[in-house]
């Protein structure tokens, strides 16, 4: 007679482990990432990647811009630390990030010790961060969704780093020194280009997962997304340049670049139709990268040529006259009406 042992009985009567294999819907992932983006976008961290201060809010909507900004802060801090003390290097980093004219009122409020409200209030932002903490936990509790977790990690990691290096010290500082430093446009343009490239690639992958069929490939969707977005902006710019064109000869080169700019994304779709027996996936993605570089170069050349048409010589002369008149104006020699004293 067979008598089962205790381990066999325990295994036979053990409750089954319930696992869920349901896919997470894209709205859940999207709204889960919104708190990450809002915290980064509303972070009063000064100039972002050397760009103008008035586009700080928009630039920080990209996780790539956020992490690049944090990396640039770290590199700049390490560079300044070689010739200065850590405190001097840190103060210089803060001063360089708040050197725009948009921060004049903010720096004056620091000197006058006036209370800050809104997005500059550290305690208000801390409460908002705690309230949205549940979304952070939910994202990282899901299984899979690797890229969603990477995007959330870029947002969260850059947010905490900049909060510790810039925002929190600024909130405790009594004064922010004024400096005049020339920002490097190459840093700004490169950061924006990388962010746009990531956005286009991510939009292609998301579009394939949401709207695509099993036989569709990422290069096919990349061609569709890049072509549609590029065509929208390129057609608008080309039409605007046609209005400012004085002769058809000026439109020959922009027209050729415009056509090449629109045709290049079609090659992505052709690559997506190639069978994997004739060429490997790695080679397909390598060719896609090369075509992306060509497409970007065509876009830069097209933008350069259309800008030349819009900024014609006669318009530049008028602009110079206005700049000269503005430079020669001296408010000290004008009369001041008596009623202006009531303006405060």
Residues 253-263 have pLDDT tens digits of 888 888 888 88
Residues 8-26 have pLDDT tens digits of 444 444 444 444 556 777 7
Token pair in block for residue 218: 């990422």
Strands (E), 23-164: none
Rounded distance between C-alpha atoms, residue 120 and residue 109, angstroms: 11
Q: What is the mean pLDDT of residues 210-230?
A: 75
DSSP state of 5: -
Q: What is the mean pLDDT of the chain?
A: 74
Residue with more model confidence, 293 or 113: 293
Q: In degrees to the nearest 10, what's the CA dihedral of 329, 331, 337, 339?
A: 120
- Find the helix packing angle between 133-141 and 146-162, rounded to 10°: 140
What is the three-class DSSP state of 179?
coil
Question: pLDDT value at position 145?
Answer: 79
Rounded distance between C-alpha atoms, residue 335 and residue 177, angstroms: 34
Question: pLDDT value at position 229?
Answer: 80
Token pair in block for residue 48: 């972002």
Residues 241-286 have pLDDT tens digits of 888 777 777 788 888 888 888 888 887 777 766 655 566 767 777 7
State if pTM tops 0.85.
no
């Amino acid at each position: 007679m067979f008598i089962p042992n205790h381990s066999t009985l325990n295994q036979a009567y053990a409750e089954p482990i319930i696992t869920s294999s349901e896919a997470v819907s894209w709205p859940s992932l999207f709204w889960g990432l919104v708190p990450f983006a809002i915290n980064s976008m509303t972070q009063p961290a000064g100039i972002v990647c050397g760009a103008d201060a008035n586009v700080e809010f928009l630039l920080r909507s990209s996780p790539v811009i956020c992490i690049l900004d944090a990396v640039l802060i770290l590199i700049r801090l390490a560079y300044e630390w070689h010739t200065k003390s850590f405190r001097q290097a840190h103060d210089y980093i803060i001063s360089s990030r708040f050197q725009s004219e948009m921060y004049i009122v903010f720096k004056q409020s620091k000197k006058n010790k006036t209370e800050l409200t809104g997005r500059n209030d550290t305690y208000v932002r801390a409460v908002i961060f705690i309230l949205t903490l549940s979304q952070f936990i939910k994202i990282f509790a899901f299984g899979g969704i690797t890229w969603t977790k990477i995007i959330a990690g870029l947002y969260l990691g850059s947010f905490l780093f900049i909060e510790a290096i810039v925002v929190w010290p600024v909130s405790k500082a009594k004064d922010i020194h004024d400096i005049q430093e020339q920002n490097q446009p190459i840093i700004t343009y490169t950061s924006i280009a990388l962010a746009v490239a990531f956005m286009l690639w991510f939009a292609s992958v998301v579009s394939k997962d949401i709207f695509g069929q099993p036989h569709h490939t990422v290069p096919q969707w990349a061609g569709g997304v890049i072509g549609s977005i590029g065509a929208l902006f390129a057609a608008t710019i080309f039409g605007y340049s046609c209005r400012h064109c004085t002769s058809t000869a000026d439109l020959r080169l922009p027209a050729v670049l415009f056509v090449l700019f629109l045709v290049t994304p079609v090659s992505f779709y052709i690559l997506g139709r190639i069978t994997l027996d004739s060429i490997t996936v790695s080679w397909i993605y390598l060719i896609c990268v090369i075509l992306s570089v060509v497409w970007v170069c065509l876009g830069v050349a097209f933008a350069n040529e259309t800008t030349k048409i819009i900024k014609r010589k006669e318009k530049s002369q008028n602009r110079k006259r206005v700049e000269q008149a503005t430079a020669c104006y001296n408010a000290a020699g004008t009369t001041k009406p008596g009623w202006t004293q009531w303006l405060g």
